[in-house]
């Protein structure tokens, strides 16, 4: 019997895009996968998160992921935009980390964005809240070292999902401007997560892994 089948993986935002690719790869590795869409948990609604946590109070692997905010000019951002995405991309994740028990030697993956390293002038809500969340995640990681919880912040550049199709009008033209001439394949992120958990890679804990095809020029 494959021992993974006794382990539960909860993928928030696991119904499409990067989250779906992680869900499918963990299913291939025989984990018991709960792949959530907004029907199961909507992280912009604290009520929805609390309801979800009543039914789901433990896991071996959790992926913190959901939809991204739209690009907006600095002066167009309203208080309510901050509130909605603060709930969606920060407070809900905090509540999940606080209330969902990750079993000893478990894993947390957080899908942030490569713009945490280089904020631009339009995805301001995204880069600000994901930077804050990256800091919170590091604190969580430090607080859970003794329990062997491995925490990895995955910071993607452009990957071929619905999200990118919403942000980019001409994909071919966009790809030509990228350092590799190619947009990322979501399956690579799924395979990476599978590799880490199947091989019980632990010492990477607390790291941010940039999956951006060399868009950021820094080696740090
Ligand atoms: N793709 C990229 O190039 C890229 C680059 C950097 C960062 N990111 C970030 O990575 C995350 C995943 O991106 P993606 O490209 O995989 O997006 P996607 O293809 O649009 O998929 C988003 C997933 O999140 C779920 N979701 C959306 N809003 C949610 C909410 N309020 N609460 C809970 N779940 C929610 C969706 O569920 P439904 O099925 O219910 O819609 C879906 O499963 C996003 O935060 C995105 O901004 C993506």
Q: How many residues does the chain have?
A: 220
Instruction: Give the closest residue to 212 by CA, choosing from 93, 126, 118.
Output: 118
Q: Is the CB of 35 under 6 A from ligand 1?
A: no
Name the fold adopted by 3-211: Rossmann fold (3.40.50)
**Nearest atom, ligand 1, residue 166 CA:** 20
Q: Is the CB of 69 under 6 A from ligand 1?
A: no
Pocket flag, ligand 1, residue 212 (CB < 6 Å): no
Q: What are phi and psi of 205, to 5 degrees?
A: -55, 140
Q: Is this prediction's pTM over 0.85?
A: yes
- Which pair of structure tokens corresponds to residue 219? 């080696």
DSSP 93-138: HHHHHHHSEEEEEEEEEEE--GGGTS--SS-HHHHHHHHHHHHHHH
Domain regions of the chain by residue span: 3-211
SS3 assignment, position 207: strand
Q: Which of 33, 66, 70, 189 to mutate to test the pocket of ligand 1 (most atoms within 8 A of CB)?
A: 66
pLDDT in tens, 166-192: 889 999 999 999 999 999 999 999 999
- Residue whose Cα lies nearest atom 37 of ligand 1: it is 37
Centroid of ligand 1 to alpha carbon of 14 (angstroms): 8
Ranges of residues in the chain whose predicted pLDDT is under 70:
1
Q: Which atom of ligand 1 is nearest to the CA of 16?
A: 43
Does the beta carbon of 158 sit less than 6 angstroms from any atom of ligand 1? yes
What is the predicted pLDDT for the residue at 168? 92
Instruction: Write down the pLDDT at residue 2.
Output: 82
- Ligand 1 centroid, distance to 41 Cα (angstroms): 13
Query: Which atom of ligand 1 sits closest to the CA of residue 44?
Result: 31
From the CB of residue 154, how many other CB atoms can be counted at a distance below 10 Å? 24
Closest Cα to atom 30, ligand 1: which residue? 42
CA atoms within 13 A on the CB side of 179: 9
């Amino acid at each position: 019997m494959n021992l993974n089948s006794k382990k539960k993986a909860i993928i928030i935002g696991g119904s499409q895009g990067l989250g779906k690719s992680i869900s499918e790869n963990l299913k291939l590795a025989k984990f018991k996968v709960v792949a959530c869409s907004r029907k199961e948990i909507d992280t912009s609604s604290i009520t929805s998160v609390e309801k979800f946590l009543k039914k789901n109070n433990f896991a071996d692997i959790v992926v913190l992921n959901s939809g991204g905010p739209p690009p907006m000019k600095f002066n167009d951002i309203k208080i309510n935009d901050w509130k909605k995405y603060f709930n969606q991309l920060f407070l809900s994740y905090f509540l999940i980390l606080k209330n969902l028990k990750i079993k000893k030697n478990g894993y947390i993956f957080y899908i942030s964005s490569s713009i945490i390293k280089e904020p631009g002038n339009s995805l301001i809500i995204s880069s600000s809240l994901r930077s804050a969340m990256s800091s919170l995640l590091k604190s969580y990681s430090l607080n859970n070292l003794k329990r062997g919880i491995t925490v990895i912040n995955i910071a993607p550049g452009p990957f071929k999902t619905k999200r990118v199709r919403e942000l980019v009008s001409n994909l071919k033209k966009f790809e030509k401007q990228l350092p590799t001439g190619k947009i990322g394949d979501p399956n690579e992120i799924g395979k990476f997560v599978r590799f880490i958990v199947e091989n019980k890679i632990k010492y990477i804990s607390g790291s941010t892994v940039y999956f951006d095809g060399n868009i950021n020029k820094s080696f740090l």
